[in-house]
Amino acid sequence: MYRALHVSRTSAIALLVAVSSVALAQYSGSAPVSAQFKKGFDSITQEDCKKWLEVLAGEECAGRGTGQPGYQKAADYMAARFKEFGLKPVGDNGTYFQQVPFERRRMNPEQSTISIGSKAIKASAGFKLDRLRGSAEASGPIVFIRANGNGVSLPQADEIAGRIIIAAIGPDATGIRRGLTRSGAAAVLFVTNEAIDNDWIFGRQSSGQGNERSLQGRVSQKCANDIAKAGGVSTEFVDLESLAGETIELSGTSQEAKLVAKLEESPVGVPNVVGLLEGSDPVLKSEIVGIGSHLDHLGNQGGVIYYGADDDGSGSTALLAVAKAFSKNPEKPKRSILFMAFCGEEMGLIGSGYYSDHPILPNDKMICELQMDMVGRNEQKDNEKPEDNVDTIHLVGSKRLSTELHDLVLEANKQVNFKFEWDEEDVYTRSDHYMFAKVGIPIAFVFSGFHPDYHQPTDTIEKINFEKIANTGRLYYLVANMAANRGHRFKIDGTG
Ligand SMILES: [Zn+2]
């Protein structure tokens, strides 16, 4: 087996780029892998990692946004690989998917209206309310406001409170804009040149909170003109284009208006991908080693794709490498191994939180959880250069609940030889393992550190250090095996 060449650190990057198709193994200076794990260990290659990540961080998966079509493509791809590597489907109804409940909501554009006198204008004509948390109604006299400039002051409170306001506000008049939303108006609609849509918005299940005090939203120029006409006011009064200088005008009418916003919500399931390798020991197989990554990233945001090659395409790739290694090794682990690729991590650890609340196998049978999140880059920050971080990775949280787990990771690493850094970035609570630590399960989290492309559309595959992903897979393959074969469970000697 080929060993990493001893090269100076600055030339190592050039070498990695130039020979990225060559399968390098452990880092220089590492101990040989024990015979019982070697076949699986040697099955982990950079070529496989590259092949898998090209899909996960590619155009089809479009950044794997939870609830977006690209996420489902990634989940299907992971499930197909889990099947290829002989994992048992332990999700819902014999599938690899544990559906996590989310919700989509929108203001119904046909059933939401603003009525003035006998005239009812539908939201589909061009208005919407923002941050709507439930269906709502507001009624009161309709008032049109036209304002521009920073120096103008808000009208009297009694001219606004309890009214439905249609406001054409110039770009400089941010003070007026803010003031109006806090004025006690029943509703405020700001005229805008931007396109208005009432498309479905994907989110967490409703927290059950009510609407903010006054309803706020936006109305297109064309729809504002219709409302002005119905209210008996000149369309010039709500015209954004003609706003100039320092001005504020109110046009009260005696007309009463009624705003009806009908919120629609429907549940949407998004899967965690889960597969089990059953242990070989008739007794110990009821206990499990959990290993996870998050499959989701930020997805498509207004047409901009956040590919998330490192975050966390890299960890999900390493997860596949570990699954493949177990499938290739003749000697099977005594305890079972549960592979988990979570959804909703970027939205606040939602998929993993759902798992630990609704465990597929009892939480008290999970002896540890091993997490990989961002394991494919060379850390870059003010005082650390990427070329000095080719073979570094942060080992986070492994001592918090069990010193024995921490020691086991250090022992396994002798065969890979990462240079460990620790939790200098204070990320212990910032990935899925934390949801397991919270219920008392010892965890270890590996993370290769931050870089300028973190949470940017530029977190793309050509910047990935595939040797690091492969070595993360090798390390966790060993850790999972050694944990699964231990005589006793990890002794808990910390509080998390
Ligand atoms: Zn992230």
Q: Which of the following CATH numbers is that of domain 109-261: 3.40.640.10, 2.40.10.120, 3.40.190.10, 3.50.30.30? A: 3.50.30.30
CA of 312 to the centre of ligand 1 (A): 7
CA of 430 to the centre of ligand 1 (A): 9
CA of 81 to the centre of ligand 1 (A): 23
CA of 381 to the centre of ligand 1 (A): 17
Check residue 262 and give its pLDDT.
96
135-148 b/e (C-beta count within 10 Å ≥ 16 → b): bbebebbbbbbbbb
CA of 431 to the centre of ligand 1 (A): 8
Q: Vertex 209, ends 204 and 215: CA angle to 5°?
A: 105
Domain ranges of the chain: 9-102+268-485, 109-261
Q: What architecture is the 9-102+268-485 domain classified under in CATH?
A: 3-Layer(aba) Sandwich (3.40)
CA of 252 to the centre of ligand 1 (A): 49
The strand ranges marked E within 183-278 are: 187-192, 201-203, 215-220, 247-261, 263-277
Domain 9-102+268-485 identical in fold to domain 109-261: no
CA of 271 to the centre of ligand 1 (A): 18
CA of 341 to the centre of ligand 1 (A): 14
Residue 426 structure tokens: 């204070």
Instruction: Kindly report the pTM of this predicted structure.
Output: 0.85
Check residue 157 and give its pLDDT.
87
CA of 410 to the centre of ligand 1 (A): 26
CA of 344 to the centre of ligand 1 (A): 10
CA of 298 to the centre of ligand 1 (A): 8
CA of 342 to the centre of ligand 1 (A): 12
397-407 b/e (C-beta count within 10 Å ≥ 16 → b): bbbbbbbbbbe
Residues around the ion ligand 1 (C-beta < 5 A): 311
Mean pLDDT for back-to-back runs of 10 residues, the chain (496 residues): 29 43 72 96 98 98 97 98 98 98 95 95 96 91 94 88 95 86 93 94 75 85 97 95 92 89 95 98 98 98 96 98 98 98 96 98 98 98 94 97 98 97 94 97 97 97 98 98 98 94
Check residue 21 and give its pLDDT.
42
CA of 348 to the centre of ligand 1 (A): 10
